Structure 1
């Protein structure tokens, strides 16, 4: 089999076209009904090009989910949510807009069978939050208390996003970001600002 140079710009462009085609297809078809034929027609590529990138649709789904997690992680990078309401609000607003613009992600938040993706997201966010909030040298008890506060807050964030997606994102991103900021800061305030 020919070795593929994944750092090549053309490879990256085709990757973006495939992901874009998948995102467009999720607006008209349930993800489990999307076929390779749907993707190649929408992306304007040939079947062999698709298979140079993915073994099958489940591999594409896994890659898409990982891509969204990486993009969400990049949104968090350099932000210390413990630094105040403005930073929290900006982050949550960005997450809301990101979610609103990705049908597959909204489906993931709505569906009960999206546990694998949700678990990965929760773990990623928990690791980030723990790193940020434990930047000071805490006692063992503070570390344990903070860990529980983070878990509580993350569960609440996911719950709010779930409810918002179930309601088809009818409320504005600004309103949801404000709610998330208030809930996050008040749910962890005692542990963040000690």
Structure 2
């Protein structure tokens, strides 16, 4: 693996203790990239904006071989647990000022469900070898969000 990357062994070990440390660093960077996309998403009743966001997530998944492989590998469970823990932390910081729910804590559960749904769809999509075009997957995610999640958050 080190040779394939065009590195000498000492260069690798200057940056990482071992291969699992490299994998952990790659996972953490992938999650950080996803969070950067999530933080820029401020849902509104704007279908085009929602679809653009989900299309970005789909393109990132399809273009990131590490992520798409990880989603359906044995290590994917570990990554999924780590990602859900980080999403839970993210959810606890989401401002819910726009939500009219009597109990804003309910909105956090709905957001967690939406994230789980998105990860599940991306898992299915990558496992199928990206059988559907990314635009079609983004449309499915948008439809679920705009017709199911967003109205509940606004009710």
Class of the TM-score when normalised by the shorter of the 2 chains: 0.7 to 0.9
TM-score (norm 1): 0.70
Query: Could you tell me which of 2, 7, 11 is aligned with 1:49?
Result: 11
CA shift digits 1:93-137 (9 cap, x unpaired):
111111111222112222354222112323434444564461347
Structure 2 residue 69 is matched with structure 1 residue 107:
yes
Structure 2 residue 116 is matched with structure 1 residue 155:
yes
RMSD across aligned C-alpha pairs, in angstroms?
2.3
Gaps of 5+ in 2: none
Larger Rg: 1
Matches within 5 A, 1:169-188: 169-188=130-149
CA contact 2:91–2:112 (8 Å) conserved in 1:
no
CA contact 1:54–1:60 (8 Å) conserved in 2:
yes
* Segment of structure 1 superposing worse, 74-83 or 162-171: 74-83
Matches within 5 A, 1:1-194: 38-39=1-2, 41-82=3-44, 84-111=46-73, 113-128=75-90, 131-132=93-94, 134-136=96-98, 141-194=102-155
Higher relative contact order (CA 8 A, sep 6+): 2
CA shift digits 1:28-58 (9 cap, x unpaired):
xxxxxxxxxx22x233221111000001100
TM-score (norm 2): 0.85
**CA distance in 2: counterparts of 1:112 and 1:150, whole angstroms:** 26
Distance 1:111 1:184, change over 3 A: farther
